[in-house]
């Protein structure tokens, strides 16, 4: 590669940063004040006749009636079902769409919508404005969203919020593998990590979990304000994660001669 071509590519990478920034700025401006909101993930491939489509529509409708905005990826399948449930009950129905070579077509049940080019910017927005997350059956994208949410809570980058898995028959196999392989066999996680999510088939239980969390959070905030300011390490950054402790790098040991 010539020096001129290399410089051209590097310049393009530098200017692409502004496109990243523009998606964050637009999404943060669009959703300012949207909370409390529930983000709902799930497959784009499930049809309106599928039982999980119907369950997502019902769950989103109940969340909307309880006063929560509903946020989805804006596409078909579970995303459409959730937007539809919120829309039909007169709630705020948010679709964070993304440009893809295939499969993603925006559903018509959105009261607020935005089109993303970058997955990572979209995923930050899903998490930043979520009071709770509900995962329905899905594919690789849903697994990515589920495990990223788990990772953020496990590492304390975000405070623990309700993470609800809807559909026992779909999730129980994966969760069994997590228990027997990740925990029991290889010890890659702690037993307490299994408490980061709740498995259910009941939309009313899902709503109750979110309501209980919000009530407890309000009490905790009031108590914390009465005692002291939030420590620096626990303060939230602009993208919604905790600042965390500065990284401590231990000194190198003596080198062998």
Per-residue pLDDT of 152-201, as tens digits, reads: 999 999 999 999 999 999 999 999 999 999 999 999 999 999 999 999 99
Q: How many Cα atoms occupy the beta-carbon half-sphere of 166 within 13 Å?
A: 32
Kindly report, residue by residue over 23-66, the tens digit of the pLDDT. 999 999 999 999 999 999 999 999 999 999 999 999 999 999 99
CATH code for residues 16-234: 3.40.50.450
Give phi and psi for 40, each to the nearest 5: -120, 125
Query: What confidence score (pLDDT) does residue 228 get?
Result: 64
Contacts of 155 (CB under 8 A, 6+ apart): none
Greater model confidence, 139 or 12: 139
**Residues, the chain, total?**
257
Percent of the chain with pLDDT over 90: 75
Are the C-beta atoms of 119 and 100 separated by less than 8 Å? no
pTM summary value: 0.89
Query: What confidence score (pLDDT) does residue 257 get?
Result: 44
Query: What confidence score (pLDDT) does residue 229 get?
Result: 72
Q: Are strands 37-41 and 69-72 parallel, antiparallel or unpaired?
A: parallel
């Amino acid at each position: 590669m010539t020096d001129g071509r290399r410089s051209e590519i590097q310049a393009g990478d530098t200017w692409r940063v502004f496109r990243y920034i523009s998606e964050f700025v637009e999404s943060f401006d669009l959703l300012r004040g949207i909370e409390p909101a529930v983000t709902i993930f799930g497959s784009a491939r499930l049809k309106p006749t599928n039982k999980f489509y119907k369950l997502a529509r019902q769950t989103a409708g109940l969340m909307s009636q309880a006063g929560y905005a509903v946020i989805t990826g804006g596409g078909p399948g579970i995303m459409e079902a959730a937007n539809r449930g919120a829309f039909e009950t007169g709630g705020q129905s948010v679709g964070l769409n993304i440009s893809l070579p295939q499969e993603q077509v925006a559903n018509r049940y959105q009261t607020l919508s935005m089109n993303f080019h970058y997955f990572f910017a979209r995923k930050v927005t899903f998490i930043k404005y979520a009071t709770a997350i509900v995962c329905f059956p899905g594919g690789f994208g849903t697994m990515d969203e589920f495990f990223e949410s788990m990772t953020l809570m496990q590492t304390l980058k975000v405070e623990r919020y309700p993470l609800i898995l809807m559909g026992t028959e779909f999730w129980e196999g994966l969760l069994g593998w997590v228990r027997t392989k990740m925990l029991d066999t290889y010890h890659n996680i702690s037993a307490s990590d299994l408490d980061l999510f709740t498995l259910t088939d009941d939309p009313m239980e899902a709503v109750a979990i979110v309501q209980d969390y919000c009530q407890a959070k309000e009490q905790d905030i009031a108590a914390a304000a009465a005692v002291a300011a939030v420590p620096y390490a626990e303060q939230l950054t602009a993208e919604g994660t905790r600042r965390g402790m500065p990284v401590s790098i231990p000194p190198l040991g003596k080198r062998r001669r």
